[in-house]
Each structure stands twice: as structure tokens, then as C-alpha cells.
């Protein structure tokens, strides 16, 4: 049933093009209150290489998803990642917390732990990982190790810079 069938069909593609973005964008005119549609449009728009789609476009998509449904946790998690990449850690933290509050799984807790570590809150980072349901999940174990090794500490150069 529209628009979910179209969204799911596009999501299953191995690669995405501007045509996929335009198809989803057209659906937003007919379904402006569909949070899932806005969230997927934001995700896919980041995956294509097109001068006509700016990085702020994905931000606007995620904000539209939240405007349509403030409790739609996948868009909060997407915003958390968006703000993490923009190095706006307080806003990333806020959206990961909202994602968790509205039902996100351990992936949001792991991302929040990274944010806490990047903010210099290592004990909060480990406490967040302790709240994960699956303590043996690879993403939890990897993040715990990375934080212990200082990979997410403030002012930590990335791995490529360290290798040089």
C-alpha cells in the first residue's frame, strides 16, 4: 500500500540515484505527515552523490519526520547521527536520548555512549553501555573496547592521522 510499498522497494535497492530521491520527494507532497517516508528520504539522500542534494537536505527531512510525529524514534536516531557527524554533541545526545525514550534499541545506546565519550563523559559512556539489553552483542563489545582505548575521547585524532 502506498507509500510504504514504494519506500520499501527503493530501500531494497543496492544503490540509489537522484531518481530515487525525486520519487520519494514526490511522495512527500501526497503524504506530508509520513515520518517513515521523511526518515528514509533523509537516509537515502545522504547516500547519493549529487550536487542538487545538499547535506542540509537530509537534516530537513529528519526534522520533517519529527514534526510529523515527535515520538518517531528512528528519525531521532538519524538526527543523533547527523549531529554527531556535524560535531554538535549536545544535540546528538538530545536526539539519542529521545530515540531511547521512544523505543530505540541498543544501537541508539551504543551511539549515545560514543557521544558521551566524545564529550569527555567516559563514565557516562560506560553506564550507557551497561544499559544495553544484549551485553554480548558485537556492537556493544566493540564500543566498550573503543572507549576504553580512547578512540572516542575529545581531541583524539582519527586513526589515519595516528598512523602517519
Domain boundaries, the chain: 1-69, 70-164
Residue 54 pLDDT? 86
State percent of the chain over pLDDT 70: 94
**Dihedral angle at the C-alpha atoms of 157, 141, 129, 139, nearest 10 degrees?**
80
| Three-state secondary structure call for residue 59 | helix
Residue 157 pLDDT? 54
Residue matched to cell numbers 545506546: 109
Question: Per-residue pLDDT for 150 more than 50?
Answer: yes
Which of 28-32, 53-57, 109-113 shows the lowest mean pLDDT across its residues?
53-57
Confidence category of residue 162, pLDDT binned at 50, 70, 90 = very low
Could you give the C-alpha distances from 74 to 3, 23, 125, 149, 151, in angstroms and in order? 17, 21, 21, 29, 26
Q: What is the pTM of this model?
A: 0.89
Residue 146: alpha-carbon gap to chain centroid: 19
**Dihedral angle at the C-alpha atoms of 42, 95, 65, 54, nearest 10 degrees?**
-30
Mean of the per-residue pLDDT values of the chain: 93
Instruction: Look at residues 139, 87, 150 and name the one whose alpha carbon lies nearest to residue 128.
Output: 139
Amino acid at each position: 500500500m502506498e507509500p510504504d510499498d514504494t519506500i520499501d522497494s527503493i530501500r531494497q535497492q543496492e544503490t540509489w540515484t537522484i531518481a530515487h530521491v525525486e520519487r520519494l520527494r514526490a511522495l512527500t507532497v501526497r503524504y506530508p505527515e509520513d515520518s517513515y517516508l521523511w526518515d528514509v528520504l533523509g537516509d537515502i539522500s545522504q547516500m547519493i552523490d549529487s550536487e542538487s542534494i545538499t547535506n542540509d537536505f537530509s537534516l530537513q527531512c529528519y526534522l520533517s519526520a519529527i514534526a510529523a510525529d515527535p515520538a518517531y524514534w528512528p528519525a531521532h536516531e538519524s538526527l543523533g547521527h547527523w549531529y554527531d557527524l556535524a560535531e554538535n554533541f549536545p544535540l546528538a545526545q538530545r536526539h539519542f536520548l529521545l530515540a531511547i525514550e521512544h523505543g530505540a534499541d541498543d544501537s541508539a545506546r551504543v551511539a549515545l555512549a560514543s557521544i558521551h565519550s566524545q564529550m569527555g563523559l567516559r563514565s557516562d559512556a560506560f553506564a550507557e553501555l551497561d544499559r544495553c539489553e544484549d551485553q554480548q552483542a558485537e556492537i556493544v563489545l566493540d564500543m566498550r573496547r573503543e572507549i576504553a582505548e580512547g578512540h572516542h575521547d575529545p581531541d583524539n585524532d582519527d586513526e589515519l592521522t595516528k598512523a602517519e
